[in-house]
Amino acid sequence: MTRQRLVAGNWKMHKTPEEAASFIRGLAPAVAGAEAEVLCLVPAVDLVPALAAAEGTPVQVGAQNMHDAEAGAFTGEISPGMLTSLGVRYVVIGHSERRGLFGEDDAFVNRKVLSALAHGLRPILCCGETLALREAGGTLPFLRQQVELALEGVPAEAAKDLVIAYEPIWAIGTGHVARTDQAQDACSAIRAVLREKYGKAFAETVRILYGGSVNAENAAQLFAQADIDGGLVGGASLTMDFAKIVFA
């Protein structure tokens, strides 16, 4: 089973609308002809200009977060329908910064995954352990639990649009990338959860990304692993290094 590689840049809270459009106009020719799917996950206010700049290019634009509800008294939030009305297809769900800094728990992440899929969005579901958990040998059971809780009630036909990103928290923004064998073992364990839940054929179709200090130097080795189908790239997605990662 060959899965198309996905290289997604998570801009986090960086770039104004103008900077977003100008970056994408520069990125588009630099990634022309890439075999990988190229995606920029931009701040909400950048979505409209970024989508306009990306139109007709190989660059896709997605969102970093959404609420699960259709509408309502949720000050500061964005609904799935608002994203689809712009033509957005991908949305990050359950990034460790959302979980850790903004108190999103597994139940909320699960509701968001269900809602994203119901709206035809492709969730990039994030999971990953702390350093303390890894050192205590608890990584794989923890990942299993996080993925199972996030996918509760998700049927295989809906889950075909799913992407999972394994992002060890200790590797995010630290420059301390996971060893390739650590990243591969974790992604393979995540695929095993999918196999148990949805069967082998389905599990083989789901793209599993690695994230956490990916850069132009280490990307190729990570992406060459059997169960790693691309990357979720933070810091290195803000510069033209991102194009090198796309071709890694």
- Known catalytic residues are 95, 167
For residue 70, give every residue at least 6 positions away whose Cβ sits within 8 Å of its Cβ, in sequence order, or none. Answer: 79, 80, 81
Strand partners, 125: 93, 164
Contact segment (CB under 6 A) with ligand PGA among 18-26, 117-125, 182-190, 207-215 equals 207-215
- Among candidate residues 64, 82, 161, the one with its CA nearest the CA of residue 118: 161
> Does 65 contact ligand PGA by CB under 6 A?
no
Q: Which of 233, 243, 245, 246 binds ligand PGA (CB under 6 A)?
A: 233
The contacts of residue 85 (CB under 8 Å, 6+ apart) are none
Taking the complex as a whole, the smallest distance from the CB of residue 12 to ligand PGA amounts, in Å, to 7
* Contact assessment for residue 120 and residue 74, using Cβ atoms and an 8 Å cutoff: no
H/E stretch holding 39: strand 37-42
64 binds ligand PGA (CB under 6 A): no
CA 67 – CA 74 distance, rounded (Å): 8
CA 55 to chain centre: 21
* Nearest-approach distance from CB 195 to ligand PGA, in angstroms: 25
Q: Which token pair is 61?
A: 């634009």
* Least Cβ distance, residue 211 to ligand PGA (angstroms): 4
Q: Give yes or no for residue 222 binding ligand PGA (CB under 6 A).
A: no
Binding to ligand PGA (CB under 6 A) within 3-62 occurs at: 10
Closer of 50 and 214 to ligand PGA (Cβ): 214
Which residues, numbered 154-183, are part of the site for ligand PGA (CB under 6 A)? Answer: 167, 172-173
> Does 232 contact ligand PGA by CB under 6 A?
yes
Shortest distance (Å) from residue 187 CB to ligand PGA: 15
**94 contacts ligand PGA (rule: CB under 6 A):** no
**Which stretch in 60-68, 71-79, 114-122, 211-219 sits in contact with ligand PGA by CB under 6 A?**
211-219
The closest of 3, 32, 11, 38 to 237, measured between CA atoms, is 11
Site for ligand PGA contains 214 (CB under 6 A): yes
The residues that bridge with 164 in the sheet, in sequence order, are 125, 208
Judge whether 54 and 28 are in contact, CB under 8 Å.
Answer: yes
- Residues contacting ligand PGA: total by CB under 6 A: 13
Residues that bind ligand PGA (CB under 6 A): 10, 167, 172-173, 211-214, 232-236
